[in-house]
Homo-oligomer: A and B are copies of this chain.
Amino acid sequence: MTHAGSSQTAPASPANDAGADAHFPDAALIALDWGTSSLRAYLFDAAGQVLATRSSPAGIMNLPRSAEQGGFDAAFDDVCGAWLKHAPHLPAIAAGMVGSAQGWLEAPYVDAPANADALVAGIVRVKAACGATLHIVPGVLQRGELPNVMRGEETQIFGALTESANATNASSNDARALIGLPGTHAKWAVVQAGRIERFHTFMTGEVFAALREHTILGRTMVTPDRPDAEAFLHGVNIAREKGQAGVLATIFSARSLGLTGQLPGQKQPDYLSGLLIGHELAGLDAVLAQQQDSLAGQSLRLIGNEALCERYRLALAQFGCTRTELVRQATERGLWRVASQAGLVNPAAQTAHAG
């Protein structure tokens, strides 16, 4: 597939083409990243090349009308109708919250450890009003006293694994690797031999927003013109070196350092961000230590918003983890891979481009 090779040199996805001619004779697959607050659609050719993309704010909690009134069909038609008009039998696949209990059709979680075959086996099918069949990829559940769940990230992770399998050699897939997905609910997955072995969730992004917008910490904060790396790293290193009392204690310093004149309001947002990400990484490191592993010296991959991944890259370096690689187009790659493995696209065309 054309996504193989260095992600740095991969072309950017084509712009949203809502106004353009939607007739793509080479179209082979519609793939959707359908989350809580947005819907992104990719049109692939049979070689795994993205021909076009479309996006909409119609996440499952933001449908144009209620689910009972056909909200899912309406959102699907709005985004993919023009593509399907010319090719009504195009296979379609979706990952994300669209498969949750609040989604179009629930795709029950598959248990970790999970490989791509397990995801394929867990796919559920929903017949859209327009006649198309949407294949919904399940999320992954890690059972236990502190269970963990993901929906959407599993597909991105397999997208990242696809890249390394193509870029280097097949045996690299057997090594244990760590993949981080920063965000509202950051995920950290341990992958090995093409499987998601286990994973952790940190509510870092959502907690940051709640602290900033709904606690006293936000009152003295001033949004800086640009990210303040120094304040951010200050927070990271406080969490790493002086964080024994835990995040409930250290976050108060965003206020007390302001009261003592040691941290002006413009530095407080990045300092708090550093504290939280620092505590996340310290917590991750503690969990890794239980498995005779650590962040120090680790080579890992990050998936997500570039600016946020850059924050994590800076923070990880403080933990001795300097080899971090940003994986681009992990979502598209993952959707393509699961669709291929499910037989939704022609394996011959895929094979011709692999390796």
Interface residues of A (CB under 8 A from B): 141, 143, 145-149, 185, 200-204, 206-207, 209-211, 213-217, 238, 242, 244-253, 256-257, 259-260, 262, 276, 279-280, 282-284, 286-287, 290
> B143, B213, B253, B287: which contacts A146 (Cβ < 8 A)?
B253
Taken together, the copies of this chain in the complex come to 2
Kindly list chain B residues whose C-beta atoms are within 8 Å of the C-beta of A256: 146-149, 201
Give the residues in chain B near A290, CB-CB below 8 Å: 244
Partner of A215, one of B141, B145, B203, B279: B203
Contact B149 A283 (CB under 8 A): no
| A276 to B290 alpha-carbon distance, docked (Å) | 23
Cα separation A251 to B185 with both chains bound (whole Å): 11
Shortest CB-to-CB span from A40 to chain B, Å, is 21
CA distance A256 to B144 in the complex (A): 10
Q: 6 shortest A-B CB distances, which residue pairs?
A: A246-B283, A245-B283, A244-B286, A147-B256, A210-B210, A201-B252
The prevalent SS among residues of A at the interface is helix
With known contacts A248-B280, A249-B283, A283-B248, A242–B206 Cβ distance under 8 A: no
Given contacts A202-B246, A203-B217, A244-B287, 20 further A-B contacts (CB under 8 A): A141-B260, A146-B249, A146-B253, A146-B257, A147-B262, A148-B252, A148-B256, A201-B256, A202-B248, A203-B215, A203-B248, A203-B251, A203-B252, A209-B214, A210-B214, A244-B290, A246-B280, A247-B248, A248-B279, A248-B283
CA A209 to CA B211, docked complex, whole Å: 10
A147 touching B207 in the complex, CB below 8 Å, given contacts A141-B260, A283-B246 = no
A238 to chain B minimum Cβ distance, whole angstroms, is 7
Bound-complex Cα distance A204 to B251 (A): 11
20 cross-chain CB contacts under 8 A: A141-B259, A145-B238, A146-B256, A147-B253, A147-B257, A147-B262, A148-B252, A149-B259, A200-B249, A203-B251, A203-B252, A207-B215, A210-B210, A210-B214, A214-B214, A244-B287, A245-B287, A246-B279, A246-B283, A246-B286
Q: How far is the CB of A8 from chain B (nearest CB, A)?
A: 31
Query: Residue among A206, A249, A276, A280 with the most chain B CB within 10 A?
Result: A249
Whether the pair A146, B250 counts as a contact (CB closer than 8 A) is yes
Min distance, Cβ A85 to any Cβ of chain B, angstroms: 37
Inter-chain CA distance A216–B201, complex, in Å, is 14
Q: How far is the CA of A242 from the CA of B292 in the complex (A)?
A: 17
Interface centre among A146, A248, A250 (most CB of B within 10 A): A248
Query: Cα distance A284–B246 when bound, in Å?
Result: 9
Q: Do residues B207 and A245 form an inter-chain contact, with CB atoms below 8 A?
A: no
Chain B residues whose C-beta falls within 8 Å of the C-beta of A149 in the assembled complex: 256, 259
Q: Contact: A216 with B211, CB < 8 Å?
A: no
Q: Bound state CA distance, A238 and B213, in angstroms?
A: 28
